[in-house]
Structure 1
């Protein structure tokens, strides 16, 4: 099954811009981030749609990476086949809409990622894991997310958590809170910065207003349907960003079928980070050392047992210093607008 990637945003598209005179003063500004298609791997190069990071935005809270994939026919693409590979300085968040993925890591965890179930892996100082879609999965569909660890916890010990949130019904919407709290529900899963992660599925033409933390910035990733956030319409695979200050988020499904979304949030992550391959550090030297340790089969990352194949080799480093990055300054709007 081919993957549809929306066209790039047209600056003249009236869906995204309203004259200031028409924009309600209380409506938050929504920036639309379009995805790019990236080959993930597998026998026939399964592709994903990546909305974070990009030049316009590196992080939403501590969320620093968002891949959105499927619905993907495993018989056509070969499915997901990611051999053992390393991570530093982050947590991985795996969330499926359909299919099944087998997870193994160097902590000794052997788990299955299934729809509606959270698998969160902490790779602070170093961890390795593999991800393979199982024979039970004919269609694979979901998101892979990363969370940057703050400097205080950047070398945290390896950890793995599994959690199955109970769906909450709110005004024509079904909400599964897998991190943080929303709609009077809360996840017990540990994070190292204040975060929100939830799947929200809206019934056809349903509209809801959710109370959210004013100190958080938020990102709404649309999986299916067309969803309006405040006065901005988002198409499938687009991510709408709302900065801190909003106490509520108004969502409306403009489709005749259900609309499924992922809501991410967190307090702004003020630290600069260096991201390269599967590593997050603070300096170029952090990345160089992590790569050298992985290539040397250092105990830093441990061994993934049970995977029937070789681990991934690290790519060559770029012929330039890898520079830290953070979010660009938020553009100022004219007087009287958010």
Structure 2
């Protein structure tokens, strides 16, 4: 009998939107994948199609508690990323980022595993610098309603770099900008899923503010490729590395693009802008281009078509 020597990879938050796509990609790349999720915002349905694969294992576990497994690499994606979910239990959100980072870094230290932190563009807050470069320290409200997520992720980055300096741990830090695609939760409150679901259901499209604020939208397949490239990069590249699509759109442009593709008679309705909502968001991905030879391929038009097709399918069920 031939003994398989597959790389053992742990994905925390593996049943979430990004995590499930990552698990899929790692299995396709020949890895043995342990998917860990507490199902606060992740869904078993996102990984149900992987359960029959003998190289995939699903474990219910909360990363705020230690985990004792043997792995070669860790992708730490655990943390609700949409305001609806992370503001529902802000204390737990902060714990997930901070205690979760401590526990996963401890596991990486014990097993000598390489570990990647899924950080966020939210560490830049409402930026004074545009586009945002990794050298920018950010402008974040430490006591606002979004702080549980923003500051939790900032603290996680601090912990990663302290473990790197103090213990020579092999770390990678990715700052993920707005990502969209199939398996987004229809009720997660994020702008792409909101607009598509509202348009498909013939409801008003709700725009917060006047629609002039900007975002950059990265299709999920491009993002997963970027994360895999970063994990495989030379040891000296620790990050942080911006990951996102530098094509910038106003929220109004996004709403109009969705309406054009979906059709129907939905109206655009303006509502007050939420507290601490950033006015601009665009990644400078020069570092990712130079060090990882990575940049997104999927244009918004094509990505929206694939995402609309997914939501059309699940909403009809």
Q: What TM-score, normalized to structure 2?
A: 0.26
Higher relative contact order (CA 8 A, sep 6+): 1
| Higher relative helix content | 2
| Higher relative strand content | 1
